């Protein structure tokens, strides 16, 4: 279902528990908990995420979360609908700057757990093919994100 790696920061069981809870809820909500889809989540530093952002998106800035989906939305929807799970498939990669998550939690006045959970669910829905460039798409994505966090009791 998921794999967590660390680049430039120490492993942390609390982070892992939060991620586990959120990813399991996301998979259940999208009815893919019995699939063989896998997400890799890398927890890292601002410097590392900036390098990745520059290398893959040509944006020379630090950011909070990056998502790299392996499927187009329609392709993934067909895979799920037809239950094409004969072997493990990588749904995609989520990269999170833990330091940025800490800063944003302070800025927004909520817990680190809430901000990390939001980064995970936000990254997950990008992997599922959702985006927030157009306002209508943003509303649809936010509704899904809020539902997951509300049901987990992770509020602002």
Q: Quote the pTM value.
A: 0.94
Cross-strand pairs, 7: 44
Q: Is a pLDDT exceeding 80 seen at residue 156? A: no
Residue-by-residue DSSP string for 43-96: EE-HHHHHHHHHHHH---S--SEEEEESS-HHHHHHHHHTT--SS-EEEEEEEE
The candidate with the shortest Cα–Cα distance to 128, out of 3, 37, 4, is 37
Q: Give pLDDT, residue 136.
A: 86
pLDDT reported for residue 93: 97
Domain limits, the chain:
2-152
Instruction: With cut-offs at 50, 70 and 90, classify the pLDDT of residue 137.
Output: confident
What are the backbone angles phi and psi of residue 64, rounded to the nearest 5°?
-90, -40
118 Cβ contact partners less than 8 Å away, ≥ 6 residues apart: 145, 149
For residue 12, give the 3-state DSSP assignment: coil
The least confident of 2-6, 31-35, 107-111, 149-153 is 31-35
87-114: string of b/e by CB count within 10 Å (b at 16+)? eebebbbbbbbbbbbeebbeeeeeebbb
What H or E segment, with its residue span, contains residue 5? strand 2-7
Report the percent of the chain where pLDDT is more than 70.
99
**Cα–Cα dist 9/97, whole Å:** 10
More confident residue, 5 or 82: 5
- Residues 67-125: pLDDT tens digits? 999 999 999 999 888 888 767 889 999 999 999 999 999 999 999 999 999 999 999 99
pLDDT in tens, 40-52: 999 999 999 999 9
Query: What is the topology classification, in CATH, of domain 2-152?
Result: Collagenase (Catalytic Domain) (3.40.390)
Q: What percent of the chain has pLDDT over 90?
A: 81
């Amino acid at each position: 279902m998921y794999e967590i790696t660390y680049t430039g920061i120490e492993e942390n069981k609390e982070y892992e528990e939060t991620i586990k809870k959120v990813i399991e809820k996301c998979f259940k909500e999208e009815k893919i908990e019995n699939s063989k889809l896998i997400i890799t989540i890398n927890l890292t530093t601002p410097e590392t995420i900036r390098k990745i952002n520059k290398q893959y998106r040509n944006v020379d800035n630090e950011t909070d979360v990056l998502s790299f989906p392996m499927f187009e939305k329609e392709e993934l929807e067909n895979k799920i609908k037809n239950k094409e799970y004969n072997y493990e498939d990588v749904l995609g990669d989520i990269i999170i700057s833990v330091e940025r998550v800490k800063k944003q939690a302070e800025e927004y006045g909520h817990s680190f757990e809430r901000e990390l959970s939001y980064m995970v669910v936000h990254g997950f829905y990008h992997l599922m093919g959702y985006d927030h460039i157009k306002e209508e798409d943003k509303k649809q994505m936010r509704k899904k994100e809020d539902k997951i966090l509300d049901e987990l009791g992770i509020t602002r």
